[in-house]
Amino acid sequence: MPKITIQDFLRKKEQGTKITMLTAYDFPFAQMIDEAGVDCILVGDSLGMVVQGLENTLPVTMDEMIYHTRLVTRAVKNALVIGDMPFMSYHAGIDDAVRNAGRFLKDAGASAIKLEGGAEVADQIRAMTRADIPVMAHIGLRPQSIHRMGGYKVQGKTEEAAKRLVEEAHIAEQAGAFAVLIESVPLELAKKITAELAVPTIGIGAGPHCDGQVLVLHDVLGIFDRFVPKFVKQYAHLKADAIDAVKKYKEEVETGVFPSEKESFK
């Protein structure tokens, strides 16, 4: 299978083929996702919560994102790898934003970056695109804005807020974004945005009409259980399975069942 490119994203939208995307933060999980044939891996700043055990994504640093993106790109043969720009890595100035975005491609081997926002970051999207850094915008619920948004709430519920989100999506597209991620908005609003944009939309908690879907891997596999958002479907329960396996190992060591002759040298 050839390496997935941003042109494949656009082709899939034109052909009406859904784009598949999951997060990953390390070599083994990235390898599994890639071998399963998923189109795209996002090295999300969600790693702050699902890997680092933080309350939210705000403390995650550029250096941590570069480290995890390297682990992922080392494993991936086909999927498009996108690095997620952490809080304050693209807010303080355009030059700073472009330099940080460039690190994902130059130092970590990613093929694109994602940043949160639409209209307010249009200048950053334009400057990055000019520097040949493909950008995915992220509108709707933006976890880096939880303090302003007052928590993890569904966005675009009023007529005015919905109109604003449609405008944001157009501004991001006009600034050069190759795709727009839409998080936690009513499904009819995501459908309207998807129909109006020439570039693909990727939904998370945005219903079935987006051009593609993304979820956090640790939610999909049942590893992260601090809270399970309504839009998550758990396809496995690896935390419970891992605890069972570790308990069994403990019991067998304590009772002398492990190691047996089979696991010993003669």
Q: Does 121 bind ligand KIV (CB under 6 A)?
A: no
Stretch that binds ligand KIV, among 41-49, 90-98, 161-169, 226-234 (CB under 6 A): 41-49
Binding mask 216-245 for ligand KIV (x = CB under 6 A): x-----------------------------
Residues whose CB is less than 8 angstroms from the CB of residue 79 and which lie 6 or more positions away in sequence, other chains included: 4, 30, 33, 34, 38, 39, 40, 41
Please choose, from the candidates 56, 62, 27, 58, the residue with its C-alpha nearest in 3D space to the C-alpha of residue 41: 27
Residue nearest to ligand KIV (CB): 44
Annotated active-site residue 183? The verdict is yes
Stretch that binds ligand KIV, among 43-51, 64-72, 129-137, 252-260 (CB under 6 A): 43-51
Give CA–CA dist 77/168, Å, rounded.
34
Stretch that binds ligand KIV, among 9-17, 37-45, 190-198, 248-256 (CB under 6 A): 37-45
φ, ψ at 231 (rounded to 5°): -80, 0
Per-residue CA distances from 233 to 25, 156, 224 (Å): 20, 23, 12
Q: Does 182 bind ligand KIV (CB under 6 A)?
A: no
Judge whether 71 and 28 are in contact, CB under 8 Å.
no
If the CB atoms of residues 70 and 258 are measured against ligand KIV, the closer one turns out to be 70
Angle between helices 62-75 and 94-106 (to 10 degrees): 30
Q: Does 23 bind ligand KIV (CB under 6 A)?
A: yes
Residues whose CB is less than 8 angstroms from the CB of residue 191 and which lie 6 or more positions away in sequence, other chains included: 207, 209
Give CA–CA dist 130/113, Å, rounded.
14
Q: In the set 6, 20, 24, 84, which binds ligand KIV (CB under 6 A)?
A: 84
Catalytic residue from among 116, 168, 173, 183: 183
Judge whether 98 and 53 are in contact, CB under 8 Å.
no
Residue 185, both tokens? 């908005």
Q: Does 144 bind ligand KIV (CB under 6 A)?
A: no
Q: Does 213 bind ligand KIV (CB under 6 A)?
A: no
Binding mask 44-63 for ligand KIV (x = CB under 6 A): xxx-----------------
Q: Does 140 bind ligand KIV (CB under 6 A)?
A: no
Catalytic residues: 183
Binding-site ranges for ligand KIV (CB under 6 A): 23, 42, 44-46, 84, 181, 204, 214, 216
